[in-house]
Amino acid sequence: MELEGRIWKDGKFWLVEIPILDAMTQGKSRKDALRMIEDAVTGLTGYSYNCLLRAVHDVFGHAAHNFQFGPRGEENAYHLHCQMFHPESIPALTSETRGQNCWVNFGPHLRNAKGEIPMKGEEGYIMPCDRPFAPQKAGLLPEDLITQVCV
């Protein structure tokens, strides 16, 4: 399950929403609104840790900094998360965010018979919004893919 969220200013208040969780908060500042949604998400039960990570990722990694959901925005969100989370969590974070980004945006499902990824306008091109997510699995990416960035 992919969770999406958004943040915006409405008059004098900042609002944060995660529609699939039916969660919305408002604050007098952007920081207050983000802190409140973090508390709301953390307090939820019945969702896997992966779903909670995806919600935090979408709100703090994308919406809070206006990072798009394509390859560059995903990598920018990953770099931001490397600063947010405890160093011991970085291998799992890398596998979930960077690994998913690589598969979704550069995986074998996008490639033609020559092994190339068609560009927009070319036959076989798949729009980013139509690209499937990789199946969930437990594992960690190789150490060199983690330490390249987060050290």
Nearest alpha-carbon partner for 40 in 65, 27, 76, 28: 27
Tell me, what's the pLDDT at 149? 58
Cβ 80 vs Cβ 60: under 8 Å: yes
pLDDT recorded at residue 62: 85
pLDDT of residue 148: 58
Question: Which amino acid is located at 133 in the chain?
Answer: F
**Per-residue pLDDT, 110:** 93
Please tell me the pTM assigned to this model. Answer: 0.59
pLDDT of residue 3: 52
Token pair 């939820």 is found at 44
- Per residue in 48-74, pLDDT (tens digit) is 666 777 788 888 888 888 888 888 888
Domain residue spans of the chain = 1-48, 67-151
How far is the CA of 138 from the CAs of 90, 91, 95, 101, 105, in angstroms?
Answer: 14, 12, 9, 16, 20
SS percent in the chain: helix, strand, coil, step 5: 50, 10, 35
- Tell me which residues of the chain have a pLDDT lower than 70: 1-3, 41-42, 44-50, 147-151
Which residues 6+ apart lie within 8 Å of 62 measured at CB?
5, 68, 69, 73, 77
- State residue 16's pLDDT score: 85
Name the DSSP class of 86. -
pLDDT value at residue 86: 79
Please give the pLDDT value at position 2.
Answer: 44
